[in-house]
C-alpha cells in the first residue's frame, strides 16, 4: 500500500523562500517512497493546524511542516490530541527555527532539510500540553518573555538576533515581577518572579545554553524561574546564560518536572491578564496547568 505524505508550508515564512522549493521537496518525498502532495497555508486562523488534523484523520503517514516555529506548532496542535498520529518532519523556513536546531536539521537549505527524511532516522519526542494547547519547544510567561513575542516578525526577518538584543535593551526599564505560586514535582515556589520558562529542547531564540541539560524524550520539562526584575541582575543573568552559568545563581530556580501548575497571587502589576507564550506565540493566560506528554509524536531527525 502506498504511503502518503502531505507538505504543509507557509508561503510567507522567512524570506518567502519556500515558494521556489516546493517542487524539489515533493520530489524528495517521492524518492522516500511517499505519494506526496502539498498544502499552502492561508491567512485564515489555524490554517496549518486544521489541515494537519484533516490529513491525520484521513490516514496520511507523514506530515511535513515547512515554516517557522509558529507553523510547526500549528501542525503539532493539529495531530497531538488525536489517538492515531502520523510521523512529522520539519523544514525550517522561519527566522530562528529553534525546534529544527534541536533536531539537528539543516537550516540553510530547505531541500537538504527535506533529505533528512531519506535517512529514515526518527525519534519519539516529548510534547508539552498547556491547558488545551500543545507546544514542542518552549512555554514561558512573565514580563521578561515579551522579548520573544514583542518583536514583530518582519523585524525578525530583517534583523535576526539583533532584533532580540535591541528589544531587550529597550525593555529592561519596563521589566516587572508578579507574585505567583508554581507547583512542580519537586516542590512549590511562592513569591515574586519576572519570568518562568518550561523548555523541551536546548534552543531558545537561537541560544543553546539556556536549558543546558535538555533531553528530548525523557518525559520531563526543564523549568527555569527568574525571581528578580532588577535590570542590573537581569543583564547579568542574560550574560551568564550565554554559557550556561546562570542555573546556579541564587536568583534562579532550575529543576526538571513532568507537571507544573501556575497561579497568580493577587492582581498582575498592570491589572491585565498575564499571557502565556507557547513556541513564540501567545497561547492563553494564567492560571494554567502544564503536562509533559512523553514521546508523544515521532519526528524525523538529523
**Catalytic residue from among 208, 263, 281, 291:** 281
Which residues on neighbouring strands pair with residue 8, listed in sequence order?
Answer: 39, 65
In angstroms, the CA 94 to CA 96 distance is 6
Cell of 24: 524539489
Q: Which residues of 264-290 are buried (b: 16+ CB within 10 A; e: fewer)?
A: beeebeeeeebbbbbbbbebbebebeb
Residue 169 makes CB contacts below 8 A (sequence gap 6+) with none
Cell of 147: 522579548
In angstroms, the CA 64 to CA 212 distance is 28
281 catalytic residue (yes or no): yes
Q: Tell me if 136 sits within 8 A of 296, measured CB to CB.
A: no
Cell of 181: 505560586
Cis ω before 192 (30° cut-off from 0)? no
Q: Which residues are catalytic?
A: 281
Amino acid at each position: 500500500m502506498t504511503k502518503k505524505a502531505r507538505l504543509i508550508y507557509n508561503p510567507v515564512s522567512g524570506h518567502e523562500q519556500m515558494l521556489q522549493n516546493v517542487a524539489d521537496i515533493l520530489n524528495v518525498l517521492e524518492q522516500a517512497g511517499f505519494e506526496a502532495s502539498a498544502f499552502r497555508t492561508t491567512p485564515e486562523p489555524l490554517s496549518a493546524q486544521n489541515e494537519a488534523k484533516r490529513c491525520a484523520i484521513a490516514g496520511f503517514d507523514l506530515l511535513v511542516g515547512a515554516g517557522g516555529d509558529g507553523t510547526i506548532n500549528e501542525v503539532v496542535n493539529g495531530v497531538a490530541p488525536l489517538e492515531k498520529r502520523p510521523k512529522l518532519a520539519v523544514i525550517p523556513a522561519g527566522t530562528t527555527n529553534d525546534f529544527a536546531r534541536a533536531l539537528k536539521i539543516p537550516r540553510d537549505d530547505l531541500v537538504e532539510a527535506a533529505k533528512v527524511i531519506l535517512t529514515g532516522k526518527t525519534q519519539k519526542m516529548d510534547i508539552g500540553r498547556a491547558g488545551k494547547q500543545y507546544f514542542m519547544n518552549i512555554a514561558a510567561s512573565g514580563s521578561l518573555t515579551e522579548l520573544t513575542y514583542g518583536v514583530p516578525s518582519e523585524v525578525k526577518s530583517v534583523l535576526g538576533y539583533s532584533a532580540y538584543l535591541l528589544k531587550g535593551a529597550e525593555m529592561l526599564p519596563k521589566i516587572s515581577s508578579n507574585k505567583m505560586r508554581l507547583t512542580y514535582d519537586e516542590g512549590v515556589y511562592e513569591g515574586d518572579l519576572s519570568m518562568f520558562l518550561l523548555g523541551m529542547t536546548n534552543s531558545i531564540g537561537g541560544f543553546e545554553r539556556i536549558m543546558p541539560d535538555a533531553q528530548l524524550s525523557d518525559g520531563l520539562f526543564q523549568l527555569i524561574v527568574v525571581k528578580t526584575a532588577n535590570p542590573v541582575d537581569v543583564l547579568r543573568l542574560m550574560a551568564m546564560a550565554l554559557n550556561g552559568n546562570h542555573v546556579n545563581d541564587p536568583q534562579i530556580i532550575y529543576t526538571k518536572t513532568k507537571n507544573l501548575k501556575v497561579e497568580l497571587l493577587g492582581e498582575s502589576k498592570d491589572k491585565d491578564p498575564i499571557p502565556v507564550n507557547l513556541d513564540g506565540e501567545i497561547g492563553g493566560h494564567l492560571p494554567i496547568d502544564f503536562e509533559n506528554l512523553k514521546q508523544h509524536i515521532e519526528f524525523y531527525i538529523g
